[in-house]
Amino acid sequence: MTQNEKVLATFQTRIRQMILRFQELKKENADLYAMVEETEQRVKQLEAKLAQQEHDYQSLKMARMMEITDGDLDGAKERVAKLIRDVNKCIAVLSDEK
């Protein structure tokens, strides 16, 4: 084998190695892009879930405030009814004194 043939064989070997390495890197790159896409989809799902949870929380908070208001309303009605009974008793007592 001549010197030129040896150099050519070495060159062909190096080219094949580079092609194989390129194919490996190309596959790795495709896998990484797939992972990035999958992660982006997961992030979008989690953001949507977070938005829904925040909406549910706001709705629950509003319902809780209304429940407290209703409870206060019932308590206020009871206090007003007691005051009316007290006023009626006072009127009855004053009416009996006349």
Residue 9 makes CB contacts below 8 A (sequence gap 6+) with: 1
pTM score > 0.85 for this model? no
Rounded CA gap, 30 and 38, in Å?
Answer: 12
Give per-residue pLDDT as tens, 67-93: 666 667 777 788 889 989 999 988 888
Cβ neighbours around 81 below 10 Å, total? 10
pLDDT score recorded for residue 4: 87
